[in-house]
Chains A and B, each alone.
Chain A
Amino acid sequence: MPRPRRSGRLAEIALPAAGVAVGILLILGPFLATVIRSVLYWEPAGANLSLKNFAGLLSDPRFYQAAGNTVLCGAGATLMSCLLGFSLAWIVSRTDLPGRRWFEIVNLVPFFLSPYVGAISWIYLAAPHSGILSHFLSDTFGLPPDLIPIYGIGGAIWVLSLFYTPYVYLFVIAPMRQMDPALEDAARVHGAGFWTTLRHITLPLLYPALISGALVVFVTSAGLFDVPLALAAPKGIRTMPTEIFQLVQYPSDFGRAASFGVIVLAVTVLLTVMQRRYLGRRRYETVTGKGYRPRIIALRARGRIAAFALEAIYIGAGVVLPVMALLMVSFSSIWTGRLDPARLTTANYDYVLFSYSLTRQAILNSLFLALVGASAGIVISVLQAYYVNRGNRKRRALVDAVLSLPLGIPGIILGLGFLILAIRTPLYSTLAIILIAYVARFFPFSTRTISAMLLAINPELEQSARASGATWLQTMRHVLLPLLLPAIIAGWLMLFVIFIRELGATILLYAQGTETISVALVVLSEHSIGRVAALAVIQLILLLFAFTLFRATRASLLG
C-alpha cells in the first residue's frame, strides 16, 4: 500500500508544521508591523525611516511617568500575589485546615473572572462617599467616607493582586505537593526550626516555580489595560497601556504608539529570555516521579485562625464582595451606595439584554468570538504541542521558545500590531481581525496545557498503533486525541473564558457593530452604572459556567 502511506507521511510532517507556521505568522505579523511602524516618520514630503518617534517618546516626561507607574503596578501586584499565592497554596496543600479541599477550588475562581469587572465592582465597594464598604465603615465605625484609596496606583495594585494570585498559586502548589517531605524533615531533625526550614529549604526549593509565577504575574499585570483604565485613568494617572490607548485615539500618533510598543516588546522578550536561562540553570529534581505524601502540618489554634482569616479575606475580596456589589447595583434603579428595597428593579437587565442594540450585539459578538476563537486556537495548539513534543528534535526548543513569546506580550501591544497591519485593509473593523488577534495573543496558553499532557503520554502508545498498521492520521484519531481529550477540553474552556472577557486588544480593534461585552462595559460606563453592572453579571454568568465545566474535566491549568 504505497499510496496511503505516502499521504500519511505527508500529513505527519505537514500538519504539525502548519500549526507551528500559523503560530509564527501570528506572532511575526504584528511584531514586524509594530517594529516597522515605529521607525517610519511622516514628514510633509512623505514617510521616512527615522528614529524620531523614539526620540519624541523618550523626551516626553509622560513616557517616564507611564513607565514608572506601570512598573510600580506590576511590581506591587507581583509582590502581593506571590505572598498571597504562596501562603494560600501552603495552607491548602500542607496544613490540616478544615475545609481546605473546598478552599483549594475556590481560590482559583478569580482566575476565571474579568479583572475589568473586578475593578468596577471594587469601585462600587470602595469609592469615596458612594462605596458600599465606605458607607459601612463610616456608618459603623465613624471612619471618614473617603478612607479607602481605591482610585490610584494602590487600588490598581490591590485589584491586580486579587486576580493574579491564582497564577502564583497554581505555579507553586504542584511542586509544593510533590516535594519529597524528607527534604524538610532532614532539616528539622538536624536542628532547624519551622521558620528556618521554610527560609533555607522550602522557599529555595520552590524558587524556580515562584519565579516563573512572579514573572508571568509581572508581565501580564503590568501590561493589563483593564484595571488602570478603571482605577488609574480617572485620576489622570498615566500607565503604559492607557497611554498607548490614548496615542491611537484622535489625534492619533501611531509612530509614537508603535515605538512605545517596541520598547515594551523588548523588555518582555528580555525578561522571558532571562527567566528561561535562570530556570535552565536550576531545575531541581525535587519531583522524582515518586508518589510522595506531603507532610500535613497540624495547625494550632492561632495558626488555624490566621489561615482562616487569610482565606476569608482573599475569597471575600476576590469573589464574594465583588459579586455581591455587582448584584446589588444591577438590581437597583438608582445606586446611592446603599441597597434600597424601594428601588429594586430588573430594568437594567431588560435594557442590556433586549432594548439596547449595542449590548445585544456585543453579547452575540463575544459568544461568536469565544466559540470560534477557542475552537480555532485549540486546533493549532494541538498541532503545535505535537510538534514541540514529537517533532524535529533539533528545532523543538527554539520553536517552543518562539511560540511562548505572546505569553508575556500585553494584549494592547498585540492589538496595536494588528491595528497597524489591518488599518488600510478590508479586515479593519471586522470581527475577523479581533478573532485573529485573540488567537495570536492566547494560543500559547492552550498549547502549554496540551503540551503538558502530551509530555506525560508515552510515545510507545503511538508507536504500537503504528506498528499495528495504523497510519499517522488513524493513530491521531484513535489513540492520541482520545488520550489528550481532557487537556483539549480544558484548553478550549480556558480560551473561551479569556476571549469572553478580553479587553486590551479589543479596545483598539473594535468598530461600530463589532463591540464585545467588555467593550460595551466601557462604553456603558459613561452612561449608567446599573446597566454596566447588569451586563457584568451576564458576563460573570458565562465565565462561571465555563469554570463549572472546567472543574468537571479535572485537567491541569498550567503546563
Chain B
Amino acid sequence: MAFLSIRNLRKSFDGLVAVDGVSLEVEEGHTLALLGPSGCGKTTILRCLAGLETADEGAIEIAGKPVFDHAAGINLMPEERELGIVFQSYAVWPHMSVAENVAFPLMVRGVPKQQTRERTARILELVGLTAAGHKGATALSGGQQQRVALARALIHEPRLVLFDEPMSNLDAQLRAQMRMELSVLQDRLAFTAIYVTHDQAEAFALAERVAVMNQGRIETVGEPRRVFHRPATPFVAQFLGLNVMPGRVVAAEGEFCRVALAEGVEMWGGAASPLPEGTAALFCVRKEHVAVRRLAATAPATGEPPAEQVFPAQIRTASFLGLQEEYIVAIGGVELGSIQPPHGFAAGERAEAVIRPADCVVFADASAG
C-alpha cells in the first residue's frame, strides 16, 4: 500500500476543469515531482492535498488514513492533515521573528516551551539560520526567507511535505544551491514530499518519480531518467524542449519508420508504437541529438534505416551559450533547433546535419484528422 494515494481526483473552477481525473501514488520517504506548464493543474492538486481546496470528486489517503473522500463525505480541515507546506511566496509571517515563525506549528500543537526552544534551535541549525532566530522575518533575503519557510514546514515532523514552486522566486545561482541543500535535508530527515514545479531540472534533481501534467491530466509518470530519455507523449517531448515536427509515415521497418516532413524531407526515427504507412505522425528529436558538422566528402551511410542520416543543411541563426552553441538549422524546408559543442558556425553557413534514427521518436499525431 502506497504512503500517499490519490484516486480519480477532479476539480473545476467555474466550469473550467483544473484537475481531470488524476490518480497517483507515492511511496513513503519518496519525492514525487508534479511537472508542467502554468495552468496544468499541478498546484490545484497540491492545494487539494493540503485541504486548501475541496476537490469535486475522488479520494486522497495519507498513511492509510483517508483525508478526503468525496463519495464517503470525508474532508479533513487543513490543520487536521498533519502536513508541512512551502509556498512560492514563502508566506513568512512579517509580524513574527524567525524563531516565532518556525516554532508556530509546535505552538499551535501545545508543545511545551522548553521542547519548542530546543527543536527550533535544532531545525534552524539544520537550515543554517541559527544566527537569525531573533530577527524580524522580513529583514531576511529571499533565500533566507525560503529557509525559514522550509524549517517551519519540517519542524513538526509532518508525514508529508508539500512544495509549491518553492524556488521560482530565487535567482538561478541560489536556486541551484537550495536544490542541493534540499536534497541533503531530505536524505537526512527522510520525509515524503510532493514537489510542484515548472522547472524540469529541479524536478529531475529532487524527485524519485516525476509526473508530467497537461491540462489537468497526467501525461506520464516515472523515474526522471525514463521520463527524460523516452518522452512518453508528444506533449512531454515538447515540454522537455525537443524538436517536434508534424509529418506522415511513408515506410515502416521493424521498430523504425520513415516520416515525410515539410517539402519532401524524409527522416527515419524510432516509432513509439507500431505506425502503419500513411499515419499522421509527430517526429521528435532532442536538440542535442541534431549534430552539425562541416561539409565532408565521406559518402553517407546506407541501409534501411541507416545508422546515421546525413542531410545538407544551412545554419539560420547561431547563438553562443558558453560551453555550447545553439543553432537553428534548415534542412530543406524543415527547421530544427540544435545544441552542440561550440563549432563556431555563423548564420548563413552551409553544413551537414547528422541525426541518428535511434535518437528520434515518432508518435501518432492524435490531433491530425
Taking Cβ atoms with an 8 Å cutoff, the residues of A that contact B are 180, 182-183, 185-194, 196, 200-201, 204-205, 207, 282, 284-286, 288, 290, 295
Of all chain A residues, the one with the shortest Cβ separation from B106 is A191
Determine the chain A residues whose CB is within 8 A of the CB of B39 once the complex forms.
none
Which residues of A have CB within 8 Å of B204? Answer: none
Chain B residues with Cβ below 8 Å from A188 are 50-52, 77-79
Contact for B108 among A180, A191, A207, CB less than 8 A: A191
The residue that B95 contacts in the complex, of A182, A192, A193, A207, with Cβ under 8 A, is: A207
B82, B87, B152, B153 pick with most chain A CB within 10 angstroms = B87
A556 CB to nearest B CB, Å: 23
Contact A190 B84 (CB under 8 A): yes
The chain B residue with its CB closest to the CB of A180 is B89
Q: What is the minimal beta-carbon distance from B12 to any residue of chain A, in angstroms? A: 15
| Contact of A185 with B104 at beta-carbon distance under 8 Å, contacts A192-B79, A207-B95 already known | no
Which residues on the A side are within 8 Å of B149 (C-beta)? 186
Bound: A200/B162 CA distance, A: 22
CB-CB under 8 A from A183, the residues of chain B are 91, 93
B85 within 8 A of A: yes
Give 24 CB contacts A-B under 8 Å: A180-B89, A180-B91, A182-B88, A185-B50, A185-B87, A186-B85, A186-B149, A188-B50, A188-B52, A189-B51, A189-B52, A189-B79, A190-B84, A190-B104, A190-B105, A190-B108, A191-B156, A192-B104, A193-B77, A201-B93, A204-B95, A205-B94, A207-B95, A288-B89
- The answer to whether B84 touches A182, judged by C-beta atoms less than 8 angstroms apart, is no
Query: B81 is contacted by which of A182, A189, A192 (Cβ under 8 Å)?
Result: A189
B153 close to A185 (CB less than 8 A): no
Which residue on B lies nearest to A207, using beta carbons? B95
Chain B residues touching A, range: 20 to 34
Contact of A190 with B91 in the complex, beta carbons under 8 Å? no
In contact, B83 and A189 (Cβ under 8 angstroms)? yes
A299 to chain B, nearest CB (A): 14
Q: Which residues of B contact A285 (CB under 8 A)?
A: 94, 138
Inter-chain contacts of A187 with B (CB < 8 A): 93, 104, 108
Q: A188-B50, A190-B105 are in contact. List 8 more A-B contacts (CB 8 A).
A: A180-B89, A188-B78, A189-B79, A190-B79, A190-B104, A190-B156, A194-B77, A204-B93
| Shortest CB distance A294–B (Å) | 13
Asked if B343 is at the interface (CB within 8 A of a chain A CB), the reply is: no
A282 to B156, CA, bound (A): 29
**Alpha-carbon separation in the docked complex, A399 to B71 (Å):** 64
Residue of B nearest to A197 (CB): B79
B187 vs chain A, min Cβ distance (A): 23
Q: In the complex, how many angstroms separate the beta carbon of B148 from the nearest chain A beta carbon?
A: 11
Q: Tell me whether A205 and B79 are in contact (CB under 8 A).
A: no
Chain A residues contacting B85 (CB-CB under 8 Å) are 185-186, 189-190
- Residue A189 contacts which of B50, B88, B95 (CB distance < 8 angstroms)? B50
| CA of A194 to CA of B52, assembled, Å | 12
Q: How far is the CB of A161 from chain B (nearest CB, A)?
A: 27
B188 at the interface (CB under 8 A from A): no
Are the CB atoms of B93 and A205 closer together than 8 Å? Answer: yes
In the complex the two chains form, is A284's CB within 8 Å of B79's CB? no
CB distance from B339 to the nearest CB of A (A): 34
User: Within 8 Å CB of A180, what residues of B?
Assistant: 89, 91
Chain A, residue nearest B85 (CB): A189
Whether A182 contacts B79 by the Cβ 8 Å rule is no
Per-residue 0/1 for B57-95: is the Cβ within 8 Å of any A Cβ (1 yes, 0 no)? 000000000000000000001110111110111010111
Minimum CB–CB distance from A180 to chain B (whole Å) comes to 5
Question: Measured between C-beta atoms, what is the minimum distance from A441 to chain B in Å?
Answer: 35
A91 to B316, CA, bound (A): 60
Are the CB atoms of B95 and A185 closer together than 8 Å? Answer: no
| B153 and A190 within 8 A (CB) | yes
Neighbour of A284 across the interface among B82, B104, B138, CB < 8 A: B138
Question: A295 CA to B53 CA in the complex, in Å?
Answer: 10
Chain A minimum-CB-distance residue to B47: A185
- B162 contacts A189, CB within 8 Å? yes
A295 CB contacts on chain B under 8 angstroms? 52
Chain B residues with Cβ under 8 A from A192's Cβ?
79, 104, 108
In the complex formed, the residue of A with least CB distance to B94 is A284
Which has the most chain A C-beta neighbours within 10 Å: B79, B82, B85, B149? B79
Q: Give the shortest distance, in Å, between B48 (CB) and chain A (any CB).
A: 12
CB distance from B365 to the nearest CB of A (A): 37
Chain B residues within an 8 Å CB radius of A205: 93-95
Chain A residues near B108 (CB, 8 Å)? Answer: 187, 190-193, 196, 200
Residue of B nearest to A290 (CB): B89
CA gap between A196 and B78 in the complex, in Å: 13
State A189–B67 Cα separation when bound (angstroms): 13
| Residues of B119-167 whose CB lies within 8 A of A | 138, 149, 152-153, 156, 162
